[in-house]
Amino acid sequence: MSGGLVAIPADIRVFEGYTWHAAPDQYVQAAVRGSGVLPLILPALGDAGDVDMVLDRVDGVLISGSRTNVHPALYGEAETEGHGPFDRLRDHTSMQLIRRAIERGIPLLAICRGIQELNVALGGSLATEIQELPGRIDHRKPDTQDRDEAFAIRHAIHVREGSCLAGIVGAGEVKVNSLHRQAISRLAPRLAVEAAAEDGTVEAVSVIDAPGFALGVQWHPEYWVGSDAISDRIFAAFGDAVRARHSGLGRVAAE
Ligand SMILES: N[C@@H](CCC(=O)NCCCC(=O)O)C(=O)O
């Protein structure tokens, strides 16, 4: 595998009487098949981790989705019933990784919870239970046990002309899936909105003046890699950026 190494920060999960550091296989498979890179699941070590030691050795960072939410204290709000469930170690590891990857120009693709972590890591905030906000559609996962139904393409978003994302998938309307009940509220200063849903929900952002590839999307392109052109193009573009860094081209440019 010559495409480069990509860190995927793990979630903390408890089952079978153990605590696990885990990442969903759909992100691992999308990294391999869609980006042509070698994924490396990174334990959620929080302060015990050494982010720069990891970033010295990888060529990209892929931040996955999760049913857990970023803790509201990280964007200055009080915890309520509606904000949970939480994964504080994931929060800490992801956000350190995000900040340093951007500073070092290491390619970053942040998906669903990942775009929310990106926004909070750079100083923004989140809204929770957005389906209860005036004028918002319901962005939550459909009530089904069938995974293809859960990740089915469901609503339109508008990709802004001239955005980084437009350079990957084209500007205008595209259709995406939707499995979230939180979304960006206060946009972080260094983020630019790349796409939005018809109800105003931010669906994609890029990092202004980032030295490397740095894109966040609220939907799940990883799930349909191999059968959806938009998903394929996003992961191919991420893979190109990772390969450029792996070959030393991106590393020289950014550091
Ligand atoms: N928890 C956040 C982010 C949502 C997310 O990442 N969803 C992916 C998992 C979908 C599932 O299997 O339930 C939010 O709800 O906004």
- Catalytic residue check, 132: no
Instruction: Give the closest residue to 44 by CA, choosing from 113, 128, 142.
Output: 113
Residue 30 within any structural domain of the chain: yes
Q: Is 4 helix (H, G, I), strand (E, B) or coil?
A: coil
17's tokens: 């009487």
180 lines ligand 1 (CB under 6 A): yes
Residue 226 within any structural domain of the chain: yes
CB 27 within 8 A of CB 111: yes
Q: What is the pLDDT of residue 251?
A: 53
Q: Which residues pair with 173 in a beta bridge?
A: 158
Structural domain of residue 131, as residue ranges?
5-247
* Residues comprising the chain, all counted: 255
- Catalytic residue check, 164: no
Q: How far is the CA of 141 from the centre of ligand 1 (A)?
A: 8
Residue 254 within any structural domain of the chain: no
Residue 255 within any structural domain of the chain: no
d(CA 156, CA 248): 38
Number of domains in the chain: 1
Smallest CA separation from ligand 1 atom 6, residue: 65
Q: Label the pairing between strands 182-184 and 126-128.
A: antiparallel
Residue 253 within any structural domain of the chain: no
Q: What is the pLDDT of residue 1?
A: 54
- Across 179-208, b (16+ Cβ under 10 Å) vs e yields bbbbbbbebbebbbebbbbebebbbbbbbe
Smallest CA separation from ligand 1 atom 12, residue: 67
**Best probe residue, ligand 1, of 27, 67, 147 (max atoms within 8 Å of C-beta):** 67
Ligand 1 atom closest to 220 (CA): 8
- Taking only the tens place, the pLDDT of each residue in 72-113 is 999 999 999 889 999 999 999 999 999 999 999 999 999 999
Residue 252 within any structural domain of the chain: no
Q: What is the pLDDT of residue 191?
A: 98
Residue 142 within any structural domain of the chain: yes
Q: What is the pLDDT of residue 47?
A: 83
Q: What CATH code is carried by the domain that includes residue 218?
A: 3.40.50.880
What stretches in the chain show pLDDT beneath 50? 252-255
64 lines ligand 1 (CB under 6 A): no
CB 12 within 8 A of CB 89: yes
233 lines ligand 1 (CB under 6 A): no
CB 23 within 8 A of CB 63: no
190 lines ligand 1 (CB under 6 A): no
- Catalytic residue check, 222: yes
Q: What is the pLDDT of residue 48?
A: 84
69 lines ligand 1 (CB under 6 A): yes
Residue 10 within any structural domain of the chain: yes
Q: How far is the CA of 147 from the centre of ligand 1 (A)?
A: 13
